[in-house]
Chain A
Amino acid sequence: DTEVTQTPKHLVMGMTNKKSLKCEQHMGHRAMYWYKQKAKKPPELMFVYSYEKLSINESVPSRFSPECPNSSLLNLHLHALQPEDSALYLCASSQVNILAGGSSYNEQFFGPGTRLTVL
């Protein structure tokens, strides 16, 4: 299984709602990522989990709360979002290959994304 799955495909929510995005992979990858992508822009990294621990938070507002309950699952909890948070949210996973010096050649596998609209 070389797929990363994401649910739901589409989500519409009000600014006072609480919702969650889900991502799952069964490739044995121990690194998982959340990206936000606005139209006609490249993906912007939000969070990185490595061995189920948060290793990178790219200064994301606290209204986005990630969770990695196990090595196959990654959630993104949403609360009190703003209309400007409307975007495609992509999940990815990869092996953890850390080279000397800290760089990593992490080939990432992406899910199809969740299209989020905040009203």
Chain B
Amino acid sequence: AQSVTQPDIHITVSEGASLELRCNYSYGATPYLFWYVQSPGQGLQLLLKYFSGDTLVQGIKGFEAEFKRSQSSFNLRKPSVHWSDAAEYFCAVAGFQKLVFGTGTRLLVSP
């Protein structure tokens, strides 16, 4: 069965600093991977996705993620964090007719 691990429950980053959120997946075949962001009390917004091809994928809001099959990872990065990036971030892998989510990482941005 598919599973996703986000090892960091929360991360604090200074505004303007770089960010990396970790995601590890378990899946027998080629995974289809997603990063979603959720602001408090809101729905989830897709940041980016990986289906195949180039292992470095670009998303919205300046985010990117790199798929590394050898490490079963799909880490999310941003070179310079803005205060508005403070939110909950979920990594997910596609399973049979559904998404399997990680437990999420809460990003806090300090001034």
Contacts and interface: CB of A to CB of B under 8 A. Distances in A.
Interface of A: 4, 6, 31, 33, 40-43, 45, 48, 50, 55-56, 88, 90, 92, 98, 101-113, 115
A42 B102 contact: yes
A111 B97 CA distance: 18
B67 to A, nearest CB: 13
Secondary structure type dominating chain A contacts: strand
The binding surface of chain B is classed by DSSP as: loop
A45 B103 CA distance: 14
A12 to B, nearest CB: 15
Contacts of A104: 94, 96-97
Given A92-B44, A109-B46, 20 more contacts: A4-B43, A31-B97, A42-B90, A42-B103, A45-B98, A45-B99, A48-B97, A55-B97, A56-B98, A98-B97, A104-B94, A105-B32, A105-B49, A108-B46, A108-B99, A110-B36, A110-B44, A110-B45, A113-B41, A113-B42
Interface string B73-111: 000000000000000001000111111011110100000
